[in-house]
Amino acid sequence: MDATTVTVTGAGGQIGYALLFRIASGAMLGPDRPVRLRLLEIPQGLKAAEGAALELQDCAFPLLRSVEITDDARTGFDGANIAMLVGARPRAAGMERGDLLAANAGIFGPQGAALNEVAAADIRVVVVGNPANTNALIAAASAPDIPGDRFAALTRLDHDRAVAQLADATRRSVTDVAGVTIWGNHSATQFPDLDHATVAGRPAREVLADALGGADAVTRWLDDEFVPRVAKRGAEIIAVRGSSSAASAANAALSHIRDSLLGTGDGWTSAAVLSRGEYGVAEGLYSSFPVTSDGSGYRIVEGLSLDDRARARLDASVAELTAERDAVRALGLI
Ligand code: NAX
């Protein structure tokens, strides 16, 4: 089988460190597909990437064909089949949102342009670095020859968090849970939605009512515990661990690519993909939706009903995405 070239940006960071070894082991592309890794860093991050490359060598992974390290985007993305854009500029003390968007546009704009020039024809891109949805929008806008639906931003971590919280609350296994959706932005405004979810084939609200003591208790749990817990889980991890989610984020990025390439099977997952107006989300935004893949890339699951509560929450998150898009437009970044 031909080797797949996977480029990881920010490869010297903590998510990169949790991600590279699992890609090289075959956990992302399957046990038969050889992989060539490209680690793209800024000059300050090269040493850490080199260290990871030494350890990759020491693992003697049978599927790993090569590891190349660079701080040049064109070299890093040359012939890439998959790009995982993890490296981003974090919010520094005193930074306004416009400054953060502009700093990241300075990364994701040039990376999108480099992808446009040198990536393989079948390139697929997942943006992990925050603000992920708008960074995906900027990268895609800078890559006019790559179809917009090849870009996505990661909301799989939010999705997996929601699945795990539902399994925990109903004392069932995560494998019993289906039909969970993350809508909107990968931020505190996201809407983790259980209205279409099932647990062991029964509507999640029914199973929750049994576990929590009635329908009112379910509504309280959803609004006061579940939604905020999933949306703010990143802050909870920082408070407990002392640094931000890394292994779980890497796992989610890997699952995002794996399911896009190998298929989602019977159920659906969540990813922030290009809106063509589905569910009233403004066309052109990268917003999280329920998605399936048959191996050819993510497609939005259509036709789900949204009640007033769901509509209001989705609209609030989309309003934030629209404001981010308008801000980068006003700055002339897209
Ligand atoms: P780290 O600070 O550990 O690593 C980031 C790495 O990116 C550093 O090595 C840095 O040198 C490199 N980098 C910076 N600018 C770069 C550029 N222009 N090209 C290539 N590399 C560059 O951060 P880490 O914990 O790994 O997180 C990375 C990003 O993921 C952050 O933006 C973070 O906010 C975001 N996250 C996104 C999540 C999601 O679900 N979408 C969840 C986890 C995480 O918070």
> Strand 286-293 to strand 269-274: parallel, antiparallel, or no bridges (unpaired)?
antiparallel
pLDDT, one tens digit per residue, over 59-111 is 999 999 999 999 999 999 999 999 999 999 988 888 888 889 999 999 999 99
Rounded mean pLDDT of 280-298? 98
How many folded domains does the chain comprise?
Answer: 2
Domain end (from 153, 178, 207):
153
- Same domain assignment for residues 284 and 168: yes
Instruction: Provide the domain limits for residue 244.
Output: 156-326
Phi, psi of 59 (to 5 degrees): -80, -15
| 233 appears as a binding residue in the annotation | no
ipTM, 2 decimals?
0.99
Catalytic annotation on 186? yes
- In contact, 310 and 193? CB cutoff 8 Å: yes
CATH number, domain with residue 261: 3.90.110.10
Q: What distances in angstroms separate CA 89 from CA 143, 148, 213, 215, one per listed residue?
A: 20, 23, 45, 43
For 165, 193, 225, 227, the CA distances from 230, given in Å and listed in that order, are: 8, 10, 8, 5
User: Are 115 and 241 found together in one domain?
Assistant: no
Cis peptide before 31 (omega within 30 of 0): no
Mean per-residue pLDDT, 186-194: 97
CATH number of the structural domain spanning residue 28: 3.40.50.720
Q: Are residues 183 and 41 in the same domain?
A: no
Question: What gap in Å lies between CA 227 and CA 190, rounded to an integer?
Answer: 9
* Annotated binding residue 111: yes
pTM of the model: 0.98
Among 83, 118, 153, identify where a domain stops: 153
Q: How far is the CA of 45 from the centre of ligand 1 (A)?
A: 11
Q: What is the rounded distance in angstroms from the CA atom of residue 207 to the CA atom of residue 179?
A: 14
Does any ligand 1 atom lie closer than 6 A to the CB of residue 8? no
Does any ligand 1 atom lie closer than 6 A to the CB of residue 41? yes
Q: Is residue 334 part of a domain?
A: no
User: Could you identify the atom of ligand 1 that is nearest to the CA of residue 245?
Assistant: 43
CB count in 10 Å sphere of residue 175:
9
Kindly state if the Cβ of 83 falls inside 6 Å of ligand 1: no
Quote the strand ranges of 34-193, DSSP E: 35-40, 64-70, 82-85, 124-127, 151-153, 177-178, 181-183, 191-193
Pocket-testing residue among 7, 14, 15, ligand 1, by greatest number of atoms within 8 A of Cβ: 15
Distance CA 111, CA 115 (A): 6
Are both 136 and 184 inside the same structural domain? Answer: no
